[in-house]
Amino acid sequence: MMKINIAEAKANFSRYIESVERGETITVCRRNVPVAEIRALPQPLREKRPVGIDKGMAVTASFFDPLPDSLLDAFEGGNDSE
């Protein structure tokens, strides 16, 4: 982690942003007292995630069938006493 004072951050902001993009975290200080932190944001996925957990996992067609009414009622707070 890198620590810089505000004046230094203002003078070299582009350079510090490049460091952040490479994974560095920068603590910005006022008179050597930390006041802020600059870090990279999580990057969105560039490709769609495959369905499932394991590579090569197959999902059967029945996975997409409608759920039974009794299960839907349980999720939707249905009342069994009616």
Do the domain assignments include residue 63? Answer: no
In this prediction, residue 53 carries a pLDDT of 63
In this prediction, residue 75 carries a pLDDT of 86
Q: What CATH number corresponds to the domain at position 24?
A: 3.40.1620
pTM (two decimals): 0.53
Mean per-residue pLDDT over the chain, rounded:
87
In this prediction, residue 54 carries a pLDDT of 74
- Residue span of the structural domain in which 13 resides: 2-38
Do the domain assignments include residue 70? Answer: no
Residue 60: pLDDT over 80 = yes
Residue 13: pLDDT over 90 = yes
Distance, in Å, from the CA atom of 27 to the CA atom of 37, rounded to the nearest integer, reads 4
Distance, in Å, from the CA atom of 35 to the CA atom of 44, rounded to the nearest integer, reads 28
Residue 52: pLDDT over 90 = no
Helices (H) and strands (E) in the chain, counts: 3, 3
